[in-house]
Amino acid sequence: MSAPVRTLVARCDHWPVVALGHPITEPVAVVATGRVVAASVAARSHGVVPGLRLPTAAARCVDLAVRERDLAIEARAFAPVVAALNDVTPALEVSRPGMCSFAARGPSRYLGGDEVLAEIVLERVKQALEGRTGVRVGIADGPFTAELAAELADPVRIVEPAGSAAFLAPLPVRLLGLPELTDVLARLGIGTLGAFAALPGADVMTRFGPEGRRAQCLAAGADERPLALRAPPADWSVSAEFDPPADRLDRVAFCARALAEELHRRLEAVGMSCVGVAVEVETGEGESFVRLWRHEGGLSTADIADRVRWFLDGRPTGSGGSGGPAGSSGSRSGTGITRLRLTPDELAPVRVRQLGFWGGEAEADERAARIAARLCGRWGADAVQVPAWGGGRQADEQITLVPAATVDVRDRRLAGDDRPWPGRLPAPSPARLLPAPWPAEVQDASGATVRVDGRGSVSAPPARLAVGGRSSAVVAWAGPWPTEERWWDRRARRRRARFQLLTGDGLGCLAVLERGRWQLTALWD
């Protein structure tokens, strides 16, 4: 059993409240799914504690401000705190917004001991928080103990190496955070972590399973969970400023190419390529527009430059007038672009393509990708589309089309549709789909329109099919195969009965009866 990693945990108090921008002296509660998850100091003094249902909390504190929890905002607000600690340690784990931890051994040795390290961290985080809330720091063996140490700290608590068991022993078992387990333990008369840790391990394993045994190890201060270390996200964005403001599209596009090249150079140096790029422009009037572009196969320099151009071409004007400020239509004072910024959005290791042994197939793939790009450039992104599995019961749903510009044409693998779709028609599939279904009339022998009742039975066998004013005899038919799709959604629900009809002149077709109207949707052509 490896020794627990010496860990430092820093936690900010009332983070969900603080992150939303409320001072902790105001009575504020942050709720998620109807329960209080965090409350400010003022709210707590009225008895509003996490876990309360919202009506109860509102009853306890009449002027309570209630906010919905927003994890994204919490995470974003926490970024300055993380940044403040970046030069203390290179590997910081943000356990959740408001709490971060890192392996303390290295920094502690470097800085001269746990006490010094804790003080430095405390100071840094306090600075970053600018007095909005308190921060507490705990150092102990293993993240679990360190987290408890931080929770009980005032404002620093350092548990001596190998002192975890003694520190944890008097604490209540509910701190394990496993309500089901701790309920049972409480009924067994085991109230503290120390008492739990003292139970025979084999018996705990038998009674509570591996999860219980793991909890017991935690209670004994043997915490093996390694920290999930993540390197701080580097700022890869590149930007250029225009002075005087660029009022012509070609100037910006030219600069975009240079920026894209720089971006590529920097990413290449670390063996990465970007899947998406955020293009941000600022105008002379201080407006800023952002657009994210992505491409599965990675974006080359030319791709990025193209996208900047498309973005500027198609961008709706910011303030009055038609045509973008940088439109080639001409210049207007004060509305030029002052800043262009490219931020890679998703980094992925550079794709290494396995080329065919003689290069033939790879070359064909390249040619196809080139012609697809060329046609897209000529007629727009929707001019070339490629198939993708959709899944579904109807003939037109099983395979859908996606614009070739959004995928890597050269190296595609369509996931085979081996999932069962009960109710789809088996092979052979119709060779011709009718994007605009043909209105039709299906009549029985007496000339009345064929209907299908709620139980799915046919009013009479179809005898004639009339399409576009021409009518022919139905010589064979089968159905109805009813489908009722999306019945849970009032607007999207569709109830259809499908028939295969074969007419006297050899036309096999898929006829669909929906809301009393017949249509032909596909032909076996």
Partner 1 sequence: MFDTGWMADAENIPGPAPGSDPASDAPHRGRDHLRLLGERVAPLLAAHERTLPALDPLRDLFPDGVLRRGWTIAVGGEVATSLALAVAAGPSASGSWTAVVGDPGLGLAAAAEAGVVLERLLMVEAPGSRGAVEATAALVGAVDVLLVGSEVRFGAADHRRLAARLRERGSVLIRLAEGRRHGAGVWTGGARSSNGWVGGSHGADVCLRIVSSRWRGLEDGWGLLRSRRVSVQVTGRGAAGRPRTVDLLLPGPDGSPVLLGPAARDATAPLRSIEEGPADLGCPGAGDAAVVA
382 near partner 1, rule: CB under 8 A: yes
CB of 346 to partner 1, least distance (A): 23
Q: Which residues, numbered 199-258, are part of the site for partner 1 (CB under 8 A)?
A: none
Q: Which residues, numbered 486-515, are part of the site for partner 1 (CB under 8 A)?
A: 500, 502-503, 505-509
CB of 306 to partner 1, least distance (A): 18
By CB under 8 A, name the one of 76, 230, 265, 432 that touches partner 1: 432
How many residues of this chain interact with partner 1, rule: CB under 8 A?
A: 70
Nearer to partner 1 by C-beta: 268 or 361? 361
CB of 489 to partner 1, least distance (A): 24
Specify the residue for token string 């705190």.
81
CB distance 302 to 291 below 8 Å: no
Neighbours of 440 (CB within 10 A): 20
384 near partner 1, rule: CB under 8 A: yes
By CB under 8 A, name the one of 66, 73, 227, 425 that touches partner 1: 425
Please give the structure tokens belonging to residue 149: 């140490």
DSSP secondary structure letters along 423-454: TPPPSSPPSEEEEEEEEEEEEETTSPBP-B-T
47 near partner 1, rule: CB under 8 A: no
CA 64 to each of CA 24, 57, 255, 413, 446: distance values in angstroms, whole numbers, following the listed order: 12, 8, 53, 55, 74
349 near partner 1, rule: CB under 8 A: no
358 DSSP assignment:
T
CB of 429 to partner 1, least distance (A): 4
Neighbours of 176 (CB within 10 A): 22
Please give the structure tokens belonging to residue 279: 């293009």
Please give the structure tokens belonging to residue 191: 């109230």
CB of 438 to partner 1, least distance (A): 7
32 near partner 1, rule: CB under 8 A: no
Nearer to partner 1 by C-beta: 379 or 487? 379
CB of 95 to partner 1, least distance (A): 43
**CA–CA dist 384, 368 (Å, integer):** 11
162 near partner 1, rule: CB under 8 A: no
Residues 6+ apart with CB under 8 A from 504: 472, 473, 474, 475
Q: Which residues, numbered 360-379, are part of the site for partner 1 (CB under 8 A)?
A: 360-361, 364-365, 367-368, 370-372, 374-375, 378-379
By CB under 8 A, name the one of 478, 487, 493, 517 that touches partner 1: 478
**CA–CA dist 162, 304 (Å, integer):** 55
The CA-based diameter of the chain, rounded to the nearest angstrom, is 99
CB of 474 to partner 1, least distance (A): 9
Name the one range near partner 1 by CB under 8 A: 87-95, 254-262, 322-330, 475-483.
Answer: 475-483
The side-by-side arrangement of strands in the sheet containing 65-68 is 35-39, 28-32, 65-68
State the SS3 of 489-518.
Answer: CCCCCEEEEEEEEEECCCCEEEEEEECCEE
Q: Which residues pair with 92 in a beta bridge?
A: 230
455 near partner 1, rule: CB under 8 A: no
Nearer to partner 1 by C-beta: 261 or 441? 441
Q: Which residues, numbered 394-413, are part of the site for partner 1 (CB under 8 A)?
A: 395, 398-399, 401, 404, 409, 412-413
Q: Sign of dihedral through CA atoms 4, 9, 13, 16?
A: negative
Residue 523 amino acid letter: L
Q: Which residues lie near partner 1 (CB under 8 A)?
A: 360-361, 364-365, 367-368, 370-372, 374-375, 378-379, 382-387, 395, 398-399, 401, 404, 409, 412-414, 422-435, 438, 440, 461, 465-472, 476-478, 481, 500, 502-503, 505-509, 520, 522-525
